């Protein structure tokens, strides 16, 4: 009796679409501070009697030192820097037009398809995974599927910081089981609409981007640059320390649908302290399950939320003296791009790895959630 061996699953292409607008820390802090000073002056009497709190000022030095972020790409710049608006301004599109998130998803998808040498006819599933989708239905994935002319199915999924890795897990499982033959996984991360630009503690964190990955069985792969997926691992632990209460119930609970708690908010220091050890443990255990040690990994494409957090995680895994190329950083110029950060790092920094080299993609953050994939260059 012959048994069928388990199919090998590969990542055969990736793509990143980067918005053309950049906001530096200097620009962001200058406009936030102008807004805060105007707010404090407009509300001087209420502040004096303790009715409302004075808005504290932000600082470029603080942002760079505590987060590692120097600038971020944004879909729309002007409204963010307008102290009478303090949020981006996006054009409203008609129902007959392509939605913004589908459009930026397609920009990245086409690049990933070209890298993998795939056309729409080769793909049979589209997964859109991100921190937010701009509407509940029809799914952005189905809109993209229709626009690209892909048969099969598509669906959207939300897992905040770990949406991209969890989306790749779903792609991997469906390819392994044989329910799909080639999956397009997309992360159209439009984060700036959910940032409270009036809040000093979080106004600097996020940027916009779109990323995409093509995953398929090894026998169909023709890409000159591909990675076998050796294993995937996911973990979640409920926490309120990173939260957004934005949602469809606001209409019926008679609360302000744009109140402070409807935006991204977090206890950043607690998140830092709680998530770092969870990530270290997760990565160690995932590698150990494959009889690998952290030192066997040539490159870690880590979640991009905070440079000090990544340095701490890598120090605990590898000790001191880790070469910069082992843990590439994109956070300095992209900011935190929610789930897309580790995928941007992978896309920009994987070509030079030699055949047989081990790499690891790992996201960690809201949920809490941690998602990882161990890869081997083919």
Q: At what angle do helices 307-318 and 268-288 cross, to 10 degrees?
A: 30
Q: Which stretch binds ligand CO8 (CB under 6 A): 58-66, 81-89, 119-127, 176-184?
A: 58-66
Question: Encoding tokens for residue 209?
Answer: 């981007």
Choose between 176 and 243: whose C-beta lies nearer to ligand CO8: 243
| Binding flags for ligand CO8, 153-172, as an x/- string (CB under 6 A) | -------xx-----------
Q: Which stretch binds ligand CO8 (CB under 6 A): 63-71, 97-105, 146-154, 215-223?
A: 63-71
For 152, other C-beta atoms within 10 Å of its C-beta total: 15
Q: Which of residues 359-378 bind ligand CO8 (CB under 6 A)?
A: 365-366
Using the 8-state DSSP alphabet, how is residue 49 labeled? T
Q: Which of 70, 51, 8, 23 is nearest to 330 (CA)?
A: 70
Q: Which of 164, 182, 229, 271 binds ligand CO8 (CB under 6 A)?
A: 271
Interface with ligand CO8 includes 201 (CB under 6 A)?
A: yes
Round to whole Å and give the CA distance between 102 and 150: 14
Interface with ligand CO8 includes 242 (CB under 6 A)?
A: yes
Q: Closest approach of Cβ 159 to ligand CO8, in Å? A: 9
Q: Is the CB of residue 205 less than 8 Å from the CB of residue 69?
A: yes
Q: Is the CB of residue 169 less than 8 Å from the CB of residue 371?
A: yes
Q: Which of 18, 180, 191, 211 binds ligand CO8 (CB under 6 A)?
A: 191
Q: Closest approach of Cβ 19 to ligand CO8, in Å? A: 15
Q: Is the CB of residue 330 less than 8 Å from the CB of residue 345?
A: yes
| Binding flags for ligand CO8, 113-152, as an x/- string (CB under 6 A) | ------------------x---------------------
Choose between 129 and 183: whose C-beta lies nearer to ligand CO8: 129
Q: Which of residues 320-349 bind ligand CO8 (CB under 6 A)?
A: 336, 338
Q: Closest approach of Cβ 341 to ligand CO8, in Å? A: 7
Round to whole Å and give the CA distance between 246 and 200: 20
Interface with ligand CO8 includes 268 (CB under 6 A)?
A: yes
Phi, psi of 239, rounded to the nearest 5 degrees: -150, 140
DSSP secondary structure letters along 255-320: S-TTSGGGS-EE-HHHHHHHHHHHHHHHHHHHHHTTT--GGGEEEEEE--S-HHHHHHHHHHHH-S
Catalytic residue among 161, 182, 221, 362: 161
Interface with ligand CO8 includes 90 (CB under 6 A)?
A: no
Choose between 146 and 267: whose C-beta lies nearer to ligand CO8: 267
Q: Closest approach of Cβ 111 to ligand CO8, in Å? A: 23
Choose between 146 and 194: whose C-beta lies nearer to ligand CO8: 194
Task: Tell me the residue ranges of DSSP E strands in the chain.
Answer: 9-17, 21-24, 71-74, 125-130, 153-158, 182-189, 209-217, 227-236, 242-243, 265-266, 297-302, 358-365, 369-377
Q: Which of 264, 334, 346, 368 binds ligand CO8 (CB under 6 A)?
A: 264
Choose between 292 and 312: whose C-beta lies nearer to ligand CO8: 312
Q: Which of 309, 331, 345, 361 binds ligand CO8 (CB under 6 A)?
A: 309
Q: Is the CB of residue 328 less than 8 Å from the CB of residue 301?
A: yes
Give the list of residues 6+ apart from residue 91 with CB closer than 8 angstroms, or none: none
- Please indicate whether residue 198 is annotated as part of the active site: no
Q: Which of residues 20-39 bind ligand CO8 (CB under 6 A)?
A: none
Q: Is the CB of residue 185 less than 8 Å from the CB of residue 140?
A: no
3-state secondary structure of 337: coil
Say if residue 1 is exposed, middle or buried (CB neighbours under 10 Å; 0-12, 13-18, 19+): exposed
Q: Which residues are catalytic?
A: 161
Residues that bind ligand CO8 (CB under 6 A): 58-59, 62-63, 66-67, 131, 160-161, 191, 194-195, 200-201, 204, 206, 242, 264, 266, 268-269, 271-272, 305-306, 309, 336, 338, 365-366
């Amino acid at each position: 009796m012959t048994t069928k061996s388990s199919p090998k699953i590969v990542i055969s292409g990736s793509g990143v679409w980067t918005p053309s607008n950049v906001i530096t820390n200097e620009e962001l802090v200058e406009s936030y501070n102008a807004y805060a000073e105007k707010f404090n002056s407009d509300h001087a009497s209420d502040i004096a009697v303790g009715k409302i709190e004075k808005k504290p000022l932000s600082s470029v030095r603080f942002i760079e030192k505590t987060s590692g972020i120097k600038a971020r790409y944004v879909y729309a710049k002007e409204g963010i820097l307008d102290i009478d608006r303090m949020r981006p301004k996006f054009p409203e599109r008609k129902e007959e037009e392509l939605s913004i998130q589908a459009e930026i998803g397609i920009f990245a998808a086409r690049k990933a398809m070209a890298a993998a040498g795939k056309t729409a006819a080769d793909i049979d599933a589209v997964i859109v995974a991100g921190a937010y989708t701009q509407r509940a239905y029809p799914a952005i994935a189905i809109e993209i599927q229709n626009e690209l002319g892909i048969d099969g199915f598509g669906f959207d999924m939300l897992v905040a910081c770990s949406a991209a890795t969890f989306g790749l897990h779903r792609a991997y499982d469906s390819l392994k089981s044989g329910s799909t033959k080639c999956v397009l996984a997309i992360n159209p991360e439009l984060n700036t609409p959910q940032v409270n630009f009036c809040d000093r503690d979080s106004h600097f964190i996020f940027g916009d981007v779109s990323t995409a990955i093509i995953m398929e069985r090894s026998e169909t792969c023709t890409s000159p640059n591909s990675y076998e997926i050796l294993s995937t691992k996911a973990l979640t632990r409920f926490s309120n320390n990173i939260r957004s209460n934005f949602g469809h119930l606001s209409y019926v609970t008679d609360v302000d649908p744009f109140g402070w708690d409807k935006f991204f908010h977090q206890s950043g220091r607690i998140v830092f302290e709680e998530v770092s050890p969870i990530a270290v443990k997760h990565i160690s255990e995932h590698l150990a399950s494959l009889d690998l040690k952290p030192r066997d990994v040539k490159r870690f494409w880590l979640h991009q939320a905070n440079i000090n957090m990544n340095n701490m995680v890598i120090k605990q895994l590898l000790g001191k003296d880790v070469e910069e190329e082992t843990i590439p950083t994109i956070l300095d110029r992209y900011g935190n791009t929610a789930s897309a950060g580790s995928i941007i790092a992978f896309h920009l920094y994987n070509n030079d790895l030699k055949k047989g080299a081990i790499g690891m993609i790992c996201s960690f953050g809201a949920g809490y959630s941690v998602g990882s994939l161990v890869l081997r260059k083919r």
